[in-house]
Structure 1
Amino acid sequence: MVPKLQFIVLLFVLCEGLDVTKLKLKQVLIFGRHNVRYPLGEFLPRFTAKSWPVWRGQRGDLTPKGAHLEGYIGEYFRQWFNQEQFLPEGCPGEDTVYAFTNSINRTKATARAFLDSMFKGCNVPVYHRNISGSDPMFTPIIRNTTEEFREKVLEEVNRKLQERIHKLIPAFREMNKILEIESSDICKKDGICDLSTANNTISYIVGKEMWVEGPLFITNSVLDSFTMSYYDGLPLQNIAWGQVTTPEKWQLLTEITRQDHYIRYTTVAKDIGGPLMKYLSDTFKNFDKIAKLVLMIGHDYNMNSIANNLGFEEVLLPNQFEKYPIGGSFVFQRWTDGTKDYLKVEHVYPSWSQLRLGTKLSLEYPPEIFLIRLNWCNTDENGFCPWTDFINKLDS
């Protein structure tokens, strides 16, 4: 017990007397979610007899507005870096900036838009594995083949369903009305005519993503289309057929996605995020040999895995309905006083209205910036944690 107490006291002393005005930004790793994309739901026509909006791009690709918005984010970060005198003037070399993304179009295009705005005319390279489809490192597939792990995950997800699914009954009933689900194929052919009473079942297959099929999957798919339509600027009458127009209605429906993240990802997050966490761990442990700025672009489920594996405290983000907003990023900052280094992590993301309105971001009109608390480190009021303790956490 004594060594543990000494460790806690040491952390307190290290961060309590820190003069943040003397700190200099040394390195940054940005792990971001891609920006606004076209909806993914290939099964949407089965969920309602109504007509869906016709999109001009390929399912899942970054929209032109998404690229535009990401450019604003890149410009904001450039202004912040200039303020901190973090990057040299002109086009950066690979010892200064390194970008690595998932191998699908929307993540590559997001990184391209970010870098082209941050470093105009420089054509900074974006690296990704030259494969068709999603890079396995970024893909949330089950990797553990043991029966013990399977039983543990299924028990946890079933328990969470019992704990949380009742909270979604009002949202499911609202979706019944919006979709007029009794006239849908999913009702006529599969007998799912009331989302508030139909069963949810867990699909657990090694090598595949784990899903909770039934109302949770259906409403998540539908909500994805509504949300992307809203962000991309479609007229309100073309979003959810004009039936979702108030913050209260969005709050009600987006609870579906927040609960889905909670229900599906905890124990399994350590498994599906294993390769990504190893990559990040290796990067941080060898940060001295790596570029000053590392940019990685992935997905909301990647950010969920990072948050679970690194012990981010659970929060509700201000001015957003999403848990991991489109265009948002975890910003891992390494600061130094010349003797010791410190970690600070922030969640930087566009607000709900900034995405809708296409607000140009700057130091004067910044995105939302939310300090992330780490449940294993006694950070000071400014969020600084000793860098060595972060590295030890990665080893544990």
Structure 2
Amino acid sequence: MNVSLSALFRVTGPLLTAALSISAPLIAHAQDNGHYVLEKAVQVSRHGVRPQTDTQKLVDATQRQWPTWLVRDGELTGHGYLAASLMGAWQAGHYRHAGLLPAGCPDNTTVYTLSSPKQRTRATAAALLDGMFPGCGQKALASTEKLDPLFQTDKMDFARIDPVIAKGEILKALGGDLQAAKARLQPDLDLLKAAACIEGKPCPFYEAEWVLKQNDEGRLKIKGLDKASSLGETFRLQYSEGKPLSEVAFGHAANAKQVMALTRLHRAKYDFVNDTPHIAKRGGSQLMNQLLLALEQGTALEKSDPLGNPPKAPLLVIVAHDTNLSHLRTLLGFHWALGEYQPGNIPPTGTLAFERYRDANSGERFIRTTFLTQSPDQIRNLTPLTGNNVPLQVDFEQPGCKKTAVGTLCPLESFASTLSKAIDRTAMTTARYP
């Protein structure tokens, strides 16, 4: 049975209030900033926990019925709302301790929050703000159009890929041959089949041939692998949602490690397609340019871009999709492996955060780039992020960066130069903010 999110939140409201009250005292875990002053922060978060986006496709792929959820396909769940709120509470505590945010409610010039038009991203933005500023009534903004050039970039004509270049890069990522790559991944296909399909009955996703195809929007996908990817991601989302283990992967995964083993083909889809340089440049340059412009605000590097500039707020919160984050991390050359997750995985509410610090002694400015996420069990158990229960996180490093009390800092000028070279300005259009 499908119910509205608002109905779910009426049920979970008391739990949310209790969770946020527990999460409030976060200062103790933070380190002394020394002489580094946090001036600006820009974060891009994936939406929170949702069901599969198309149940019928899973049924068709496996020839079996799938567990039901309390919300419609692809929409943020009540559990996902609570988990995102806990992440927001931790993030606000970090920013307050660093001096970027005041105590209490911020004014409208301090925080600007923008989300993709999708329901799951808009609801996640509301959850993050509830966690950051409970009772303050902070609002997130989103385009009223179905497609926003910042978020649905790869679906729009201005950022269409060159299929010849893209296919060449995908083939290189595959190791030169699609079927040879499939053969290498056969053990993962077998593992996924054992969890997803009924023994002795047809299993269409498993039997499907892998074919590289281009859709009407110009995007490339590996048909066959895409279904396997969706199965693994759905199993992970079932675990994150806190579903009974008898329902998670149809009872074939008893813990986070076993669940994540079923997501190896989800990782492969990103390795082979989303994370290839040409596709990332075409899909990620629009958003990356706006992030860079925001980080340069208030410095000698600040510029007026003919395609538009982001709002000037000390904290810019953007809620997007894992596709957006995969493009950004590829443009950066940022690789991570955290906890039980597969390398490079972008879990629900996983956040790519950019922080600009000023050295109070020299005046020099630096960028800290970090990826942070709740662990699988922190999301599943709605664990307040206090004390030793902090998010998993890793800092981006490149030549010229240095480790400090506030994290790995890279000089702003060299960081900006690296990003500018990675951005493809032919894959950009006017940026409009609500």
TM, length-normalised to structure 2: 0.78
- Counterpart of 1:316 in structure 2: which amino acid? A
In structure 2, the residue matched to 1:334 is: 356
Conservation of the 8 A alpha-carbon contact between 1:140 and 1:272: yes
- Counterpart of 1:368 in structure 2: which amino acid? L
**Alpha-carbon distance, 1:47 to partner:** 1.9
CA RMSD of aligned residues (A): 2.5
Secondary structure class of the residue paired with 2:150: helix
In structure 1, the residue matched to 2:337 is: 316
2:262 aligned to 253, 274, 282, which one?
A: 253
Conservation of the 8 A alpha-carbon contact between 2:39 and 2:358: yes
Larger RCO (CA under 8 A, 6+ residues apart): 1
Conservation of the 8 A alpha-carbon contact between 2:81 and 2:123: yes
**Alpha-carbon distance, 1:287 to partner:** 5.3
1:281 aligned to 292, 305, 308, which one?
A: 292
Secondary structure class of the residue paired with 2:290: helix
In structure 2, the residue matched to 1:38 is: 51
1:168 corresponds to 2:193:
no
Distance 1:292 1:147, change over 3 A: closer
Structure 1, gaps ≥5 residues long = 1-18
> Structure 2: how far apart are the matches of 1:175 and 1:83?
44
1:359 corresponds to 2:383:
yes
Distance 1:164 1:353, change over 3 A: farther
Distance 1:160 1:115, change over 3 A: same
1:85 corresponds to 2:85:
no
- Structure 1 runs of 4+ off > 4 angstroms? 142-148
Secondary structure class of the residue paired with 1:283: helix
Provide Cα deviations, 1:192-229, integer angstroms capped at 9, x if missing partner: 6x44xx42112224634322111x11211212221111
> Structure 2: how far apart are the matches of 1:45 and 1:394?
42
Provide Cα deviations, 1:246-305, integer angstroms capped at 9, x if missing partner: 455334321111111110021211112232223223323335671111100101111111
Q: Which moved more, 1:85-94 or 1:146-155?
A: 146-155
Conservation of the 8 A alpha-carbon contact between 1:40 and 1:225: no
1:290 corresponds to 2:317:
no
**Alpha-carbon distance, 1:94 to partner:** 2.6
**Alpha-carbon distance, 1:172 to partner:** 0.5
In structure 2, the residue matched to 1:7 is: none
Conservation of the 8 A alpha-carbon contact between 2:105 and 2:136: yes
Q: Which moved more, 1:21-30 or 1:244-253?
A: 244-253
Conservation of the 8 A alpha-carbon contact between 1:79 and 1:362: no
Provide Cα deviations, 1:83-132, integer angstroms capped at 9, x if missing partner: 22221223212321010110111111111111122112211121111113
Secondary structure class of the residue paired with 1:384: strand
- Counterpart of 1:235 in structure 2: which amino acid? P
> Structure 2: how far apart are the matches of 1:24 and 1:394?
23
- Counterpart of 1:211 in structure 2: which amino acid? K
Q: Which moved more, 1:25-34 or 1:377-386?
A: 377-386
In structure 2, the residue matched to 1:183 is: 201
Secondary structure class of the residue paired with 2:141: coil
Secondary structure class of the residue paired with 1:183: coil
- Counterpart of 2:337 in structure 1: which amino acid? L
Secondary structure class of the residue paired with 1:324: coil
1:97 corresponds to 2:111:
yes
1:152 aligned to 154, 159, 165, which one?
A: 165
> Structure 1: how far apart are the matches of 2:417 and 2:172?
32
Secondary structure class of the residue paired with 2:418: helix
Aligned length: 365
**Alpha-carbon distance, 1:324 to partner:** 1.1
Conservation of the 8 A alpha-carbon contact between 1:28 and 1:333: yes
Secondary structure class of the residue paired with 1:21: coil
Conservation of the 8 A alpha-carbon contact between 2:76 and 2:119: yes
Distance 1:22 1:200, change over 3 A: same
Structure 2, gaps ≥5 residues long = 1-31, 300-310, 422-434
Secondary structure class of the residue paired with 1:136: coil
> Structure 2: how far apart are the matches of 1:209 and 1:252?
27
Conservation of the 8 A alpha-carbon contact between 1:40 and 1:221: no
**Alpha-carbon distance, 1:145 to partner:** 8.4
Secondary structure class of the residue paired with 1:90: coil
Distance 1:164 1:24, change over 3 A: farther
**Alpha-carbon distance, 1:62 to partner:** 0.5
Identity of aligned residues (%): 24
Distance 1:309 1:65, change over 3 A: same
In structure 1, the residue matched to 2:34 is: 21
> Structure 2: how far apart are the matches of 1:147 and 1:68?
37
1:389 corresponds to 2:414:
yes
> Structure 2: how far apart are the matches of 1:148 and 1:106?
27
Distance 1:352 1:385, change over 3 A: same
> Structure 2: how far apart are the matches of 1:95 and 1:147?
35
